[in-house]
Amino acid sequence: MEVLSGDLKKRNLVIILIDGLRWQEVFRGADTDLISNPAFTPDPHSLRSLFRGETKGERRKKLLPFFWNIISEQGLLFGDRDLNSKVNASNLYSVSYPGYNEIFTGTTDIFISGNKKVNNRNINVLEWLVRKRAFENNIAVFSSWNVFPYILNSKRSGLEIHTGPEENQDGNPAITIPAKNGIEYSEDTRHDIVTYTHAKEYIKKHHPRISVIAFGEADVVAHEKRYDLYLQQMHQADAMIGELWTIMQTMEGYRNNTNFLITTDHGRGNTEKNWHDHGIFVRGSSQTWLALIGPASSTLKMKNAQIYNKQFAAAIARLVGEEFPAQKDLRSLKQKMNAKRIQPRA
């Protein structure tokens, strides 16, 4: 995967991550068997009314209208295994921290195997970029899951990360996360609409060159085996992405000059019995997908049908006109940053 041309050094980038979203729903729409299974869908009639269709083309347009009315026409979608387009996570574990580490550092790390709040030892592409003058105070991260400051090592990197539920946009005390549809959210996750609203208002006010928005609710409700809520969270994420795209296309500096890169950290099980789960022993968990819309859509060259999530870090840098070194070439910088906690360049 290679970005070929364009005045990339002046381009903006929005990276959108939807935790644990299966390629099956992205490309096939709602699974008719899972919708009809009362163990996963307490009210099958309503879900069928909303998302059922005779063909997968009809179903996916109902579930993800922005993806399939706009991105499919103006951008690029990868990961439809029915068409032999494959995207995979390369890490062994197929859980979130290893997945996001792979996306942002371009490497897999055998010692990152779970989701513990441990500062990442690997240099990520955002902290490498933020040290350049063009990106100083120009990168902002918004996440529903409060492990992101550890994944991106905010103490070392100095990246601006707004996460929940520990803080709101102004850094004030925690927002209370109420139960939603009978599901109690953990202390580590806030609702995606809160994350999105903060990101949207920040972008309108501060105009960052690079924005990261990481949604987490789809994964939360999937683990609760609620396929109905899983579909609703997908549909909501699609609507928020579509709204943000429309807003940014009306803003000077962003209009026709902004790429959206949308993907997921891992897949899920590929059967009716294990769709809600993922991990090293769950078949299908490494299967991911990628969407891209913006000026780069016409300049992206595919060398083969297989893409890996570990390629995204280099792609992120290229989308803004930079070349991200391999981790082995970042060792001296990492040693200096770990020793001195060097802050973004002034």
| Domains assigned to the chain | 2-292+299-339 (3.40.720.10)
For residue 184, the model assigns a pLDDT of 62
Tokens of 169: 């946009």
Element (H, E) at 263: strand 258-263
Q: What is the pLDDT of residues 66-115, one digit of tens each?
A: 999 999 999 999 999 999 999 999 999 999 999 999 999 999 999 999 99
Residues facing residue 59 across a β-bridge: none
d(C-alpha 218, C-alpha 19), whole Å: 6
Q: Which amino acid is present at 240?
A: M
| Residues 303/269, Cβ–Cβ less than 8 Å | no
φ, ψ of residue 291 in degrees (nearest 5): -125, 145
| Residues 124/344, Cβ–Cβ less than 8 Å | no
C-alpha torsion sign, points 319, 325, 331, 336: negative
Tell me the average pLDDT of the chain.
90
Residues facing residue 30 across a β-bridge: none
Around 280, how many Cα atoms within 13 Å sit in the side-chain half-sphere?
A: 8
For residue 298, the model assigns a pLDDT of 79
Q: What is the pLDDT of residues 291-331, one digit of tens each?
A: 999 999 877 766 657 999 999 999 999 999 999 998 877 86
Asked whether the predicted pLDDT for residue 168 surpasses 60, the reply is no
Angstrom CA distances, 267 to 23, 155, 183, 328, stand at 7, 29, 22, 28
d(C-alpha 346, C-alpha 342), whole Å: 11
For residue 339, the model assigns a pLDDT of 59
pTM reported for the whole predicted model: 0.90
SS3 state of residue 47: helix
* Mean pLDDT of the 53-71 span: 97
Beta-carbon contacts of 119 under 8 Å, excluding residues fewer than 6 positions away, are 150, 153, 155, 156
